[in-house]
């Protein structure tokens, strides 16, 4: 075999991503592609610029994070350290109905605070404009994006609780088609967030039909009390539009809903048996994270942030909100299960990491009153972690062959503009935790299957051609890791701790982590639909 190669990963335990048993072999890389893979004793003897001695280590395709929210953080800090330290080489962004584009009208106004918080001076409206900006930033990882229904709807009719008329629906369809032409890989919804919460099922079907060769992902209308109905709606959207559907962060939220697990899985698996392409993702934790005002009833959001704030100020409306929150959450430990993860004001920074139960007791207030007061004080710019899920259910979900892994987090670093608050540890721990705890230690699946769920399966599901597998001619996104040591270290108290066991990470053939150290290389690419 006579050829010059750039990097030779020698003598590792190779998992090719297809779920097969590993083999001992060499992986050779030239420029941004895998040149060849040898097995057993077939050793390469040509010229090599760099060698990774992978004896006693494992080699796999780069991990694909199927559920990320890095639109603004990756522009602010392209190092993406929280992800590359985990072995992530590609993210799917634009989830939960929130994407980088389109941004017109009220949608643009709504995201202004997010952009300012990250110190972003540039503004854009379309995916084409956004992708140009991101390419100039030279991110360390690959970036693919769904078009968020929330962006599309807010760009056309704002945050009003009403159905679009015919002309508005045509405009929404036009914006979606434009997003896809510019590179979006599908459509996402966030049906618990404004303005997605106001959309009827028919509206989503009408949009999905426009791009039925791609994929529809959904943060469903409920992940708790109405979980079964929400899954039925998601399947209906796939069935009536003809599009593949993907359920974001599948869960049974709240103790009263833990028993719905088997019924939820039965619905999904019956649809798959029918031939409907239904898949899911999940993070390997029993706590969720989102904006604190997700604890309020959906009608409180209508009209956008300013109208929501006015409702919280109006004594009569506030009382109605208060009563509904109290009646919906009678669990004894509910207020102790919610912790503040980030605030906007410096004065309240000390609250980060504390539970609403602790904070309300310190403030000598009822928890619900503290909730409403702090939302007003922080003008809704406050994040929280919700401990509401069941470990046995998590394990059952993770073991399903059609379920992938998504961190549900944005890229962050241990310093710089993205180090804010006490975010969910999944931002630094998701993939090593899944591989180390759930595959290796708990043996929910063999290692080959675990690797398939974070490499080839998401690549095929989201149409990422030439990625997710160690195969000659494929893009050289590669992870070298210690199978015996890989594990997460990030905690809710210290969420920025990098994991153990990741030796080297290559993105498009360029090392971004080399023998455990960040190289500073930024070789990530925009992965556009169909390209």
Which helix H or strand E contains 115, and what residues bound it? helix 112-117
pLDDT 10s digits, 361-399: 999 999 999 999 999 999 999 999 999 999 999 999 999
Q: pLDDT class for 109, splitting at 50, 70, 90?
A: very high
Rounded Cα distance between 503 and 524, Å, is: 19
**pLDDT confidence of residue 4:** 82
Average pLDDT (176-187) is 98
pLDDT class of 466 with cuts at 50, 70, 90: very high
Question: How many Å from the N-terminal Cα to the C-terminal Cα in the chain?
Answer: 31
Tokens of 79: 């190092």
Contacts of 518 (CB under 8 A, 6+ apart): 79, 81, 84, 85, 512
What are the phi and psi torsion angles at 290 (to 5°)? Answer: -165, -170
**Residue 49 CB neighbours (<10 A):** 11
Q: Would you say residue 302 has pLDDT above 90?
A: no
Cα–Cα distance measured from residue 320 to residue 296, given in angstroms and rounded to the nearest whole number: 11
Q: pLDDT per residue over 262-289, tens digit each?
A: 999 999 999 999 999 999 999 999 999 9
DSSP classification of residue 355:
B
Structure tokens at 144: 């693919």
Q: Are 511 and 6 in contact (CB under 8 A)?
A: no
What gap in Å lies between CA 495 and CA 350, rounded to an integer? 16
Please give the model's pTM, rounded to 2 decimal places.
0.95
Q: How many CA atoms lie within 13 A of 372 on its CB side?
A: 24
Q: Please give the Cα distance from 483 to 396 (Å, whole number).
A: 23
63-286+388-460 CATH: 3.20.20.140
How far from chain centre, in Å, is Cα 499?
18
How confident is the model at residue 2, as a pLDDT?
54
DSSP string, 149-175: HHHHHHHHHTT-SS---HHHHHHHHHH
Q: Show me where the domains of the chain are located.
A: 63-286+388-460, 291-387
Work out the number of other CB atoms within 10 angstroms of the CB of residue 342. Answer: 23
């Amino acid at each position: 075999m006579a050829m010059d190669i750039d990097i030779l990963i020698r003598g590792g335990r190779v998992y090719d991503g297809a779920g097969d048993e590993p083999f001992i072999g060499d992986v050779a890389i030239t420029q941004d592609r895998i040149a060849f893979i040898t097995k057993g004793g077939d050793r390469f003897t040509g010229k090599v610029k760099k060698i990774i001695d992978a004896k006693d280590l494992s080699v796999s395709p780069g991990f694909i994070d199927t559920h990320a929210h890095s639109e603004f953080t990756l522009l602010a800090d392209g190092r993406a350290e929280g992800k590359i330290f985990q072995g992530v080489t590609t993210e799917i962004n634009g989830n939960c109905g929130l994407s980088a584009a389109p941004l017109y009208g009220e949608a643009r106004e709504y995201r202004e605070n997010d952009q300012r918080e990250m110190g972003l001076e540039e503004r854009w409206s379309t995916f084409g404009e956004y992708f140009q900006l991101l390419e100039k930033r030279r991110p360390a990882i690959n970036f693919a994006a769904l078009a968020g229904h929330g962006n599309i709807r807010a760009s056309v009719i704002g945050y009003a609780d009403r159905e679009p008329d015919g002309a508005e629906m045509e405009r929404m369809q036009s914006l979606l088609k434009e997003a896809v032409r510019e590179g979006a890989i599908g459509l996402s919804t966030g049906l618990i967030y404004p303005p997605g919460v106001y959309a009827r099922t028919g509206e989503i079907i009408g949009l999905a039909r426009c791009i039925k060769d791609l994929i529809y992902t959904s943060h469903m209308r409920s992940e708790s009390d109405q979980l079964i109905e929400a899954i039925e709606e998601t399947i209906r959207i796939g069935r009536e539009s003809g599009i593949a559907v993907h359920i974001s962060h599948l869960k049974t939220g709240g103790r009263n809903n833990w028993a719905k697990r088997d019924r939820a899985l039965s619905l999904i698996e019956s649809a798959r048996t029918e031939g409907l392409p239904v898949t899911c993702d999940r993070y390997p934790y029993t706590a969720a994270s989102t904006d604190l005002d997700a604890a309020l009833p959906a009608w409180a959001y209508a009209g956008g942030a300013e109208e929501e704030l006015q409702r919280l100020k109006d004594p009569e409306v506030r009382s109605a909100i208060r009563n509904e929150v109290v009646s919906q959450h009678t669990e004894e430990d509910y207020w102790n299960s919610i912790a503040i993860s980030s605030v906007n004001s410096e004065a309240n920074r000390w609250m980060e990491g504390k539970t609403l139960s602790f904070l309300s007791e310190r403030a000598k207030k009822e928890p619900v009153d503290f909730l409403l007061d702090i939302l007003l004080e922080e003008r809704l710019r406050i994040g929280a972690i919700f401990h509401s899920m069941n470990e046995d259910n998590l394990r059952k979900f993770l073991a399903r062959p059609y379920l992938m892994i998504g961190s549900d987090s944005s890229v962050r670093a241990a310093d710089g503009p993205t180090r804010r608050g006490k975010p969910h540890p999944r931002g630094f721990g998701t993939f090593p935790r899944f591989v180390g705890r759930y595959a290796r230690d708990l043996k929910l699946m063999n290692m080959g299957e675990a690797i398939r769920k974070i490499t080839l399966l998401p690549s095929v599901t989201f149409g990422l051609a030439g990625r997710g597998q160690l195969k000659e001619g494929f893009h050289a996104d590669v992870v070298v890791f210690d199978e015996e040591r890989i594990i997460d270290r990030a905690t809710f108290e210290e969420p920025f701790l990098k994991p153990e066991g990741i030796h080297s990470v290559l993105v498009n053939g360029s090392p971004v982590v080399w023998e455990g150290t960040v190289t500073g290389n930024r070789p990530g690419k925009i992965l556009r639909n169909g390209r």
